[in-house]
Amino acid sequence: MRNKDLLLIPGPTPVVDSIYDALGEETRAHTDPRFVSRFKTAIERIKRILNTDGEVFIVAGSGTLAMEMALVNTIAPGERLLIISHGYFGDRFIKLGQAFGIKIDLLQAEWGKQVDIKHVKEHLEKHHYKAVTVTHADTSTGVKASLGVLIPLIKQHGALAIVDGVCATTAMPEDMQHNYAGPDTAIDIVLTGSQKAIGVPPGVGIVAFSQAALKARNEMERVSAFYCDIHNWIPVMHDPSKYFATPPVNMIYALEEGLRIVEEEGLKKRYVRHKAYGKAVRSALRVYGMTPLAEEDDAAPTLSCIYYPEGVNDAEFREALAKQGVILSGALAHLAGKAFRIGHMGNTTPEMLEEAIRKIGETLKMSGHEANVEEALSVFTEILSSTSVK
């Protein structure tokens, strides 16, 4: 890779050379048949990866835009939304919903833990919800949601299941035609962005709708949006030579290449790889006295939030690492200064993570803390070897 730094934050994530090459191709007209063909291929790849029987939408924007598209096209003002939150980004749905006059109920887990399923049942039995949002992997806490438990429960109570896959898509299973507990217990919407597990630079929002989600939009007389109204985008997704708003031409090139890499590796292999990365990184860092926020059963494969040992200064520690080319993120909200976040997804390699673990240990030692670097590296390597991830 031509990257100079080890960009191990929760996103953007490392970009491989072939994606940079695609991004740097000649910019063509958005109606040029050569571009139209690439756009069609990207749409087809997303449909296969998410296995939707409905529509996918690829638009210029961020994951937040994708969140907005999911809500505004399915929930009318005055209808009720249940937000299942495992952290800061689950909470983001609150202001999004309020902006469109949606009635909000929030079910917030303790940071580092999964939501209590008993409380989910209580909420679903108390009110009729048009939809329920679930963040598959929360970028602030490194906690994953148990879709196998939550999706059937949501669907059995007649609500649409909206999955925020921004920090999960292509690294964690999100098959939209998988019925978790019998007929009609599948995901209705998956929303995501280009810059995390897909491994492409930021700039593209992606949303996939099931037939049930499309029906919800069709039953709405109007929506409080123009750019985000999927009815304006469906003709373009069927025929990218049509115009609604100018697509991000070079980003589509990059996305198409990133999705090609995903399909070439294969989703099953990617799921195994990411799970192994997460476990190996967390286990190695425990050797340094660094404790993950989430217990292993609740931890996401894509990123981890890690407590510092006593006496480590967050800003100084991450600055020292950055000077060595290892870029980590600080923790958010009440964890700021107490923990850091490390991404281990997308195009990240074992060699990158091994180097990061080494430099984290060496930086701890330079600041006067004990750190058995060789033991940490041995733990990391052993876990990857046991899962055949090289």
pLDDT tens for the chain, 390 residues long, are 788 999 999 999 999 999 999 999 999 999 999 999 999 999 999 999 999 999 999 999 999 999 999 999 999 999 999 999 999 999 999 999 999 999 999 999 999 999 999 999 999 999 999 999 999 999 999 999 999 999 999 999 999 999 999 999 999 999 999 999 999 999 999 999 999 999 999 999 999 999 999 999 999 999 999 999 999 999 999 999 999 999 999 999 999 999 999 999 999 999 999 999 999 999 999 999 999 999 999 999 999 999 999 999 999 999 999 999 999 999 999 999 999 999 999 999 999 999 999 999 999 999 999 999 999 999 999 999 998 776
**Distance, CA of 161 to CA of 186 (rounded, Å):** 8
Which residue type occupies 90?
G
| E strand or H helix that includes residue 306 | strand 303-307
Nearest residue to 363 (alpha-carbon basis) of 300, 323, 320: 320
- Which phi and psi (to 5°) does residue 208 adopt? -120, 130
pLDDT of residue 1: 75
Question: CB burial class (10 A; 0-12, 13-18, 19+) of residue 168?
Answer: buried
For residue 13, which amino acid is it?
Answer: T
pLDDT of residue 390: 60
- H-helix or E-strand containing 149? helix 147-156
| AA identity, residue 94 | I
164 DSSP β-pair partners: 135, 191
Q: Which residue has 């091994």 as its token pair? A: 354
C-beta atoms surrounding 127 within 10 Å: 12
Structural domains present in the chain? 17-264 (3.40.640.10), 266-386 (3.90.1150.10)
Q: What is the pLDDT of residue 389?
A: 73
DSSP state of 27: P
Euclidean distance between CA atoms 189 and 185, whole angstroms: 12
pTM: 0.97
